[in-house]
Chains A and B, each alone.
Chain A
Amino acid sequence: MTGNLPDCSAFLDAKGQVLRELPDFARDAETLITLYSMMVKTRVFDAKAIALQRTGRLGTYGSSLGQEAISVGVASAMSEADVFLPSFREHGGQLWRGVSMEELLLYWGGDERGNDFAGPRQDFPVCIPVASHFPHAAGVGLGLAHKGTGGVAVAIAGDGATSKGDFYEAMNVVGVWELPAVFVINNNQWAISMPRAEQTRAETLAQKAVAAGLPGEVVDGNDVIAVREATNRALDRARAGQGGTLIECLSYRLSDHTTADDASRYREDAEVSRHWKTEPLVRLRTHLVAEHGWSKDDEEALLRDSRTETEAAAERYLAMSPQPARAMFDHLYATAPPDIAALAKEMGDG
């Protein structure tokens, strides 16, 4: 499905027209502006991260260009008691949850201290082995249910992840144990060079939920309102003890897979250009302008603030002193066995 996306549940169309009655939160200007601001900030952050990588100051980085509404929409529906288990492309969600830009840069700069973020302390670090965090989400859901605090585990991964057994096996246990866990698929139509159509013959990825006895639905992942609204409903169900949900968010990867990729090897520019017409920021901005008095000045101020914040974070990141080599041993075990303690000592504080 690398052409135009099929009809799916949206509140705003690509031109910012309201398609159906908005949920309450989406009638509140402040909420919409907060969502929009985080999406813009994520995009500015992505651009900065790529610039840092191109100048040798960051490692391989996967941009979320075009998929900001998914990450931000999902995270914005979550509460503090919930646990987020992101894949490597969900910077907006991590930022929304409170991970700082400089912590994200630190991590993608190759420093594990970036995963020791000041908050939210219970959230998982990004998962690199595709789909292997879905079983964690089941376990986190089990733990949260045990605690009885009403928390829900929310895991997110890409369309490629749905071809893996872990994804299905985890959905299956979430179904049969009725665990409070929400699985979100960022269907950006590509898994590196593999188009969605070659990933599976399943008509939708959401229908994979049927096999696990979970509700599955497809939403327009370029409409932050639709993403948040679907996540809200899934979280409500989980909190009410009704178990898990699979949400497929349709979007498009406007960037290369990562900074190490060259997408022109496997896809046409025309396809990318076509999808620029449906990207998530413009429609919300159009709606804000039309309905909530969002002005040119507001837009410029937002961009300026986002850039200032990102630049300041990048400067702090670049000024951080490197971790000593012994750090590779320091947190291997709660208490280092003699061999490991000896290695740490040998490596020293340099």
Chain B
Amino acid sequence: MADLTMVEAIRMALSRALEDDPDVIIFGEDVGIDGGVFRATDGLMQRFGAARVRDTPLSETVIAGMAVGAATQGLRPVAEIQFMGFLYSAIDQLANHAGRLRNRTRGRLSCPMVLRAPFGGGVKAPEHHSESMEAMLAHIPGLRVIVPSTPARAYGLLLAAIRDPDPVVFLEPKRLYRALKEPVANDGIALTLDCALVVRDGSDLTIIAWGAMVAEVGRAADALAERGISSEVIDLSSLKPIDRSAVRASVQKTGRCIIVHEAPLTAGLGAEIAADLAEHCLTSLLAPVVRVTGYDTVMPYAQLEDRYMPDAARIQAAAQHVMEFA
């Protein structure tokens, strides 16, 4: 079993999907000879041919909309948006069509498509290249929104997304693309899509995160453990649908909850989780649910990026606050 980075694991999953299913096709900007700007599709065009791994003209509307059309014809398009900041014009297609087609035809037509996009900050990219707009996507009925947090999870979740009969937006934390390696087997086994994962057991508080923030939470949990605070860490993983029962079960056990995301605070996904806990776990709560998030501002360009991103120190401070709440 090879040690792989996340971007290598994603490539391995794409390659596996192309091998296993002749209906799988990949398209997007620069995904062909260039192998994608992050190299997620490196070598795939050479191996599977330009009919199955294809460069599109520069149009996010077409990438998403063409995926909708192709999916209705029995293809399994895995389309790439080069950076999440350029996904806005594809939202029209996702919200008006991909997420609706099965419903509005009462099951006659469907959209088994995957839209991949690198997302999030932390790599000092140009402006418009570091946004986290997952809440906008999670608000769209009929979609699934998935974020992996490790190479092995990326492999299994991407295979699951490609095999799923409905549209999936697959967000890849670019900060994690090359951050760590772990053994990933090319076993062709898909993970279950709609599930959160408890990545660390604990008893004093629950910390919920996804994507690159899971590792940041892990660092905070290590530091908190040294001070005798036991954190249960949940990788939400599926942002739509949210695995509410897993979240509730953990908070019912610990009585405290912190939610961490890079996206701005207001109307972020943290608000949805906090509201769900207020509705369903009020009597278990020993402290207010606290959100540690990006700020309500434009995603800063490289110089101030670190000051914007939630980090272990802010997560620890929040943990301290909920632990000390009378």
Contact = CB atoms under 8 A, between A and B. Distances in A.
Given A138-B65, A169-B62, A339 B57 contact: no
22 contacts: A116-B108, A135-B69, A135-B93, A138-B69, A139-B66, A139-B73, A142-B70, A143-B69, A143-B70, A143-B72, A146-B75, A166-B92, A169-B61, A169-B62, A170-B66, A173-B66, A177-B54, A331-B107, A332-B102, A334-B166, A338-B241, A339-B244
A165 B67 contact: no
Contacts, number: 145
A140 interface: yes
A340 B241 CA distance: 9
Contacts of B293: none
A139 to B, nearest CB: 2
Contact of A139 (B69, B89, B105, B106): B69
What 7 A-B pairs have minimum CB-CB distances, sorted nearest first?
A: A139-B69, A135-B65, A143-B73, A136-B69, A139-B66, A139-B70, A337-B241
A340 B59 CA distance: 33
B320 interface: no
B222 interface: no
Interface string B111-146: 000000000000000000000000000000110000
A173 B57 contact: yes
Interface in B60-82: 61-62, 64-75, 77
Interface residues on A, range: 35 or more
Interface of A: 83, 112-113, 115-117, 121-122, 124-125, 128-129, 132-144, 146-147, 153, 165-166, 169-170, 172-173, 176-177, 327-328, 330-335, 337-340
A154 to B, nearest CB: 12
B109 interface: yes
A81 B73 CA distance: 12
A331 B106 contact: yes
Contact of B59 (A113, A144, A173): A173
Contacts of B54: 177
B178 interface: no
Contacts of A133: 97
A212 to B, nearest CB: 10
B321 interface: no
A32 B92 CA distance: 41
Interface string B1-38: 00000000000000000000001010000000000000
Contacts of A144: 73
Contacts of A327: 106
Given A143-B75, A333-B102, 19 more contacts: A115-B106, A132-B65, A135-B61, A135-B66, A139-B72, A139-B77, A143-B69, A143-B70, A144-B73, A146-B75, A147-B73, A147-B74, A169-B62, A170-B66, A172-B57, A173-B56, A173-B66, A331-B103, A334-B165
Residue from the set A136, A165, A335, A338 with the largest chain B CB neighbour count within 10 Å: A136
A220 B69 CA distance: 29
Contacts of B105: 112, 115-116, 125, 331
Interface residues on B, range: 35 or more
B194 interface: yes
B200 interface: no
B104 interface: yes
Residue from the set B66, B107, B242 with the largest chain A CB neighbour count within 10 Å: B66
B66 A146 contact: no
B166 A333 contact: yes
A121 B71 CA distance: 15
Contacts of B103: 112, 328, 331-332
Contacts of B166: 333-334
Contact of B108 (A121, A141, A146, A172): A121
Contact of A172 (B59, B73, B104, B242): B59
A138 B106 contact: no
Contacts of B109: 124-125
Contacts of B77: 139
B69 A140 contact: yes
